[in-house]
Structure 1
């Protein structure tokens, strides 16, 4: 409720206005009276006055002079003037000084109530805006981490999206909150970086992005900007008036922010400006912005405003990849990449393809590559389990540009593997080196060797036997026993230690293997070697 003061040198009229009008129904709680400017100033010193209804012509000091004083000392107070003279110059001067309206005496009751109702509505809205601005400033300056945690809990549904639950949670955390306040959410999506950063550097870049966003979007001191999920930032700006004018301002600021991200932070960014919503509606609004972002696979460095036309994703036909599989099998990987890029680049900047289209392309292309690699005996799932491949795979469905990067990497990796396979000597060298480096490991087996060279174990066995004259398992056993023989001859290590050094954890098993190959136990072999009477049994 508001406080009002009636100022008029006609005491009878002043008292009549105070008693005859139902001020409480208009939102006025207390009505003070003054019969000249001096008394009015005394009331200001003792009471809060939100509105004055003031006569212009008064002795000693006019209403216009009083209004000038009020403007200097109490700028939030609204003024409505009364006068008996319909002089244009007086009305013009009153409006220049900031008077809300100008009424002619005698004032009809309905006209007075209509004008007072309008000014009360304006005062209430202004106070709400100031209150919400103060709340936003308090969040930003004094309790940003607590306020961020509150809204993350609301968005993640840890706090139910109900006004009472949010109010209670805010009070428990000593965070100012008004359920009548509206918030304007802005989702900032970092679509990709054009440089490779370490995890530490990415954190530094994200911190710099937040600082830049707070400054350019004018969030600093008037709301919050914080990390939502990996690659996504969220701004929440307290807001009360119609949001359309602010949205246009934010669109311009967002375009400036995107330009700075491209120039200074080596990244592509898209920004989604939502609708102003109440606190309990924030979770739903943010969810819609996130879904909007996930569905955007063809636009980068663009500002999207809620309420503008959103893209309608059509069912796009995925190209037949049978011809591509034949090209890849015949070693024409470059042509596969060229044709795939022609298709994908035709989608960039268009509204038709959505996330579902990109996922279907991704699935079909992956199936095509795996089919060709299987024909070649290559274990595709092992070929692409490195960190770089995994990262590109996960990001491929994020945008058409990311899909192009993944296609290039996938085809190049497949071509390199198939090229190595054609050079049999290279495969054999890799196998022998891998076995030599891990000969003491009990885990060394045909399967681990096959995984290392990304080949099917049976296929590797056939290839290795053709070139080396023994299966992989036989070759591993031969190398282990040759090493054991050297250690028995050249060292004083206990036989149990030698067994362990050559990949045998079971001493009895080692002894049986050794005796089968050399016709004697390891202990007898060492004794005869010392006597110079060894008769070796060839493997």
Structure 2
């Protein structure tokens, strides 16, 4: 019985090995690998009962390694390591996959307890595993082949013509009788996956495995295919899944596992069962329904019912004149509040579609460009270039994304909408404030907030108007004040440094020499 430790941190791996060798269960061999390649080389020549593996490693993550060995039919018991502290919501979902985890740094008692638990689990499964190893290998390989087939079919790499499907299944060593079965297609839409801060692959891995366990019967091949970060689909054999039961299961999922994830989900059930030859058309109908929905989250859609109640998208009309007046008078916060209220009202309309949001998007954009042309025509091309960096499709995919887009473009307008006199006034205000507050802590953020600009834009504007970077200008003014005090007062050098905003006298001396060529003491001379 062998233990494999996979961790790109050498001392962490060796420390784990030493603890287990001294006080843990007895293994024939404890081997350390420091990347995915070394781990696979060890698997090539050894059987591994238990594997402790880090999730994040250069050259291949722990999840990729686990996927690789699972595809080979190996059932090594795995214990994941993670260095991320905010792991509570992941751990709840992870427990559904029968995979343990440890949070770095790992205490000795916790480590040994997890390894002992894994060894006991391995021993309990050993006899059954030896008897069924070949069967399990084929089952997992078959799952992989089926998922690849459905993915290729969804992407058009496999012809959907009836006469070609059976031969394609034969070619892939899959049961050609499946071509005659009817499938109830379930589409799972994952909203906000692109905004997850860390470990996106882990969330996707968990979702796929939970979906397999949650929606399929034990005797079925649990096909769950990810098309992209947003969509997963499950072709459920209609013989084992009634529409009513699937609706109930999806509704229950909103309580059972959806809350364990930090993003939101929608479930779409096809209007009717379909054969493989009809799958591409059915999938398109499901995706079209998902793309039309821009207001509801954590919701179950039955296309058989929705087809009876489809309505046209709601009309969008906001007060273009009032919003233009707010822009031109630079009451940006007032406009942001009104836009937010408008979108909230829109969100409660059940008839809105993506087209509804697109109408708002382009109407609002036209208002912005028209007002920018009036406020600061010279800045219009650059403003338009910055706006073009946003994705229309992303902005119009949901009310929340559109709300985020409005906030972002209003901040840009606030930056670029200043006319020449406004730019001059902002720079003069900042310069005056710096001159009268040299002994205060002066930061880009605080100075930008004072004139209602972003720090980056203030820095850009200040450099353009004065020729100085904001940081260098602050230091220059402090040095000039220090020169006046050195020449005209008897205060000590350390007191002068403090009064001019330098908390560290050695830093003050370096900057003074940098701007004057001499030290403060030499200057006073």
Give the TM-score taking structure 1 as reference length.
Answer: 0.49
**Deviation at residue 349 of structure 1 after TM alignment:** 4.2
Matches within 5 A, 1:243-258: 246-258=242-254
| Distance (Å, rounded) in 2 between the aligned partners of 1:386 and 1:262 | 36
In structure 2, the CA distance between the partners of 1:240 and 1:253, relative to structure 1 (3 Å rule), is closer
| SS of equivalent residue, structure 2 residue 296 | coil
Is 1:156 the counterpart of 2:155 in the alignment? Answer: yes
Residue in 2 that maps onto 1:328: 327
Residue in 2 that maps onto 1:172: 171
**Deviation at residue 343 of structure 1 after TM alignment:** 2.1
Of 273, 287, 296 in structure 2, the residue corresponding to residue 290 of structure 1 is 287
| Distance (Å, rounded) in 1 between the aligned partners of 2:145 and 2:193 | 30
Alpha carbons 2:182, 2:273 under 8 Å: kept = yes
Residue in 2 that maps onto 1:267: 263
In structure 2, the CA distance between the partners of 1:361 and 1:171, relative to structure 1 (3 Å rule), is same
**Deviation at residue 370 of structure 1 after TM alignment:** 2.4
**Deviation at residue 427 of structure 1 after TM alignment:** 6.7
In structure 2, the CA distance between the partners of 1:258 and 1:412, relative to structure 1 (3 Å rule), is farther
In structure 2, the CA distance between the partners of 1:318 and 1:398, relative to structure 1 (3 Å rule), is same
| Distance (Å, rounded) in 1 between the aligned partners of 2:197 and 2:319 | 37
Residue in 2 that maps onto 1:406: 405
Q: Which has the larger radius of gyration?
A: 1
1:124-169 CA-to-partner distances (Å, cap 9, x unmatched) read: xxxxxxxxxxxxx999633233222222222222222112211111
In structure 2, the CA distance between the partners of 1:193 and 1:260, relative to structure 1 (3 Å rule), is farther
**Deviation at residue 214 of structure 1 after TM alignment:** 1.8
| Distance (Å, rounded) in 2 between the aligned partners of 1:363 and 1:357 | 10
CA RMSD of aligned residues (A): 3.8
In structure 2, the CA distance between the partners of 1:174 and 1:394, relative to structure 1 (3 Å rule), is same
**Deviation at residue 358 of structure 1 after TM alignment:** 0.9
In structure 2, the CA distance between the partners of 1:181 and 1:336, relative to structure 1 (3 Å rule), is same
| Distance (Å, rounded) in 2 between the aligned partners of 1:328 and 1:219 | 58
In structure 2, the CA distance between the partners of 1:147 and 1:365, relative to structure 1 (3 Å rule), is same
Alpha carbons 2:313, 2:355 under 8 Å: kept = no
In structure 2, the CA distance between the partners of 1:262 and 1:237, relative to structure 1 (3 Å rule), is closer
Alpha carbons 1:139, 1:147 under 8 Å: kept = no
Alignment size in residue pairs = 300
Alpha carbons 1:294, 1:355 under 8 Å: kept = yes
Is 1:192 the counterpart of 2:192 in the alignment? Answer: yes
Residue in 1 that maps onto 2:337: 338
Matches within 5 A, 1:60-75: none
Residue in 1 that maps onto 2:73: none
**Deviation at residue 336 of structure 1 after TM alignment:** 1.4
Gaps of 5+ in 2: 1-135, 431-455, 468-525
**Deviation at residue 402 of structure 1 after TM alignment:** 1.6
Alpha carbons 1:295, 1:355 under 8 Å: kept = yes
Matches within 5 A, 1:30-429: 141-178=140-177, 179-193=179-193, 196-198=196-198, 201-218=199-216, 221-240=220-239, 246-260=242-256, 262-274=258-270, 275-310=272-307, 311-374=310-373, 375-377=375-377, 379=379, 382-383=382-383, 390=389, 393-418=392-417, 422-424=422-424
In structure 2, the CA distance between the partners of 1:381 and 1:264, relative to structure 1 (3 Å rule), is farther
Alpha carbons 1:298, 1:348 under 8 Å: kept = yes
| Distance (Å, rounded) in 1 between the aligned partners of 2:428 and 2:154 | 56
Residue in 2 that maps onto 1:98: none
Residue in 2 that maps onto 1:478: none
In structure 2, the CA distance between the partners of 1:173 and 1:272, relative to structure 1 (3 Å rule), is same
Alpha carbons 1:185, 1:234 under 8 Å: kept = yes
| Distance (Å, rounded) in 1 between the aligned partners of 2:168 and 2:175 | 10
| SS of equivalent residue, structure 1 residue 276 | coil
**Deviation at residue 273 of structure 1 after TM alignment:** 0.9
Gaps of 5+ in 1: 1-136, 431-451, 455-459, 471-539
| Distance (Å, rounded) in 2 between the aligned partners of 1:315 and 1:154 | 35
Residue in 1 that maps onto 2:79: none
**Deviation at residue 302 of structure 1 after TM alignment:** 0.4
**Deviation at residue 216 of structure 1 after TM alignment:** 2.3
| Distance (Å, rounded) in 2 between the aligned partners of 1:180 and 1:318 | 50
Alpha carbons 2:152, 2:158 under 8 Å: kept = yes
| Distance (Å, rounded) in 2 between the aligned partners of 1:236 and 1:185 | 5
**Deviation at residue 378 of structure 1 after TM alignment:** 5.8
**Deviation at residue 209 of structure 1 after TM alignment:** 1.4
**Deviation at residue 232 of structure 1 after TM alignment:** 0.6
| Distance (Å, rounded) in 1 between the aligned partners of 2:266 and 2:404 | 19
| Distance (Å, rounded) in 1 between the aligned partners of 2:416 and 2:285 | 43
| SS of equivalent residue, structure 1 residue 266 | coil
Alpha carbons 1:393, 1:406 under 8 Å: kept = no
In structure 2, the CA distance between the partners of 1:366 and 1:273, relative to structure 1 (3 Å rule), is same
In structure 2, the CA distance between the partners of 1:260 and 1:327, relative to structure 1 (3 Å rule), is farther
Q: Which moved further from structure 2: 261-270 or 172-181? A: 261-270
